[in-house]
Amino acid sequence: MYFLPISFLTLLFSIGGAIIAGLVGSVWYANFAFGKVWRKEQGLTLEKMKAPEYQSRLKNAMWKMPFVYLVLTYLLMSLLHSLVVVSIWHGIWTGLVVWVLAGLSTICLEKMYKPQISKKFFAITVGHHLVTWALLSVYAVFAIQIIYHV
């Protein structure tokens, strides 16, 4: 796989991808979307969420996840560029393949080793990953087209 050279534009678009992924997660897990059901299925109560241990884990995730999505966006742009993907549909299909290989397989393994995970929790989490990968794939195709004037 050919990695995109690190430049101002690749960094800027990678940051944009991290922002998009964060926005998708914020909306997906908001109370008006799937947040209430997701927390209920996890057994999270308001008391548990206010506990110092949970707050520490939340703060830890809040600074790690943007970095993870920044790297994932860069790698996805590199993959799409290596495969010479210039159409939105090819980008979405490639994103779905990556989602199946990376995201879905990880979630399925988690379900296998933690069978107490409910179907609702599983479906909400899988759906979030699917939507995020699809949007990041479309975004990455646009980014490559802008960077390389395709």
pLDDT 10s digits, 109-131: 666 656 677 888 888 888 888 88
52 is a domain residue: yes
68 is a domain residue: yes
pLDDT of residue 18: 92
63 is a domain residue: yes
Q: Which residue has the tokens 């949970």?
A: 54
Q: Structurally, how many domains does the chain consist of?
A: 1
Output 26 or 92, whichever has higher pLDDT.
26
Q: How many CA atoms lie within 13 A of 106 on its CB side?
A: 9
- Report the alpha-carbon distance of residue 11 to residue 23 in Å, rounded: 18
Q: Which domain holds residue 17?
A: 8-148
pLDDT 10s digits, 44-102: 887 888 888 888 887 887 878 888 889 888 888 888 888 877 788 888 888 778 777 77
Residue 20 binned pLDDT confidence (cut-offs 50, 70, 90): very high
pLDDT of residue 72: 87
Residue 50 contacts by C-beta under 8 Å, 6 or more apart in sequence?
none
125 is a domain residue: yes
CB–CB of 92/123 below 8 Å?
no
Q: Which residue has the tokens 């290989």?
A: 101
3 is a domain residue: no
